[in-house]
Amino acid sequence: MNPAFLREAIRLSLEKMAANEGGPFGAVVVKDGQVVGRGWNRVTSTNDPTAHAEVVAIRDACARLKTFSLAGCELYSSCEPCPLCLAAIYWARLDRVYYAATCDDAAEAGFDDRNFYRELAKPVGERAIPVGQALRDEALVALRAWAEKEDRIRY
């Protein structure tokens, strides 16, 4: 763990929050000791509820490296990743995550990610947002075609 990268994430969180670009969160993606992606919370400035610091940093790193896999990279975040960001971290195949503030610290500031963690732990039928499933057979056509597609790019 390199504290300089964690400090850069914290610096971004403070600078961009002060500029009214979003909430107090920053993140950087590091590969071979170099920052290859930077992100800060842009939810309110872009009207995008998925524009969390970690997601923005992942998008930036993938664009710069021209890849959808960040295997071999680490992510440094000013705060413990929420479930959305954690899922993006897994999809990006990052090797490791370091964070500064905890989800409890974020809750004290008004960001209670614990509610989302609790929701995801519930069976689908017990979650606050109703979810329905239909047309499975029709959707399976695309999934089977993907499985048979010889020139598909696996991820």
- Catalytic residues, by residue number, are 54
What is the edge-to-edge ordering of all strands in the sheet holding 96-101? 34-40, 26-31, 73-79, 96-101
Cα radius of gyration (the chain): 18
Q: Residue 75 in contact with residue 89, Cβ under 8 Å?
A: yes
Alpha helix positions (H), the chain: 3-18, 43-46, 53-65, 83-92, 103-108, 114-121, 136-148
Angle at 12 between CA 99 and CA 43, to 5 degrees: 90
Residue count of the chain, please give it.
155
The residue written with tokens 């947002």 in the block is: 129
Chain centroid to CA 14? 19
The residue type at 90 = Y
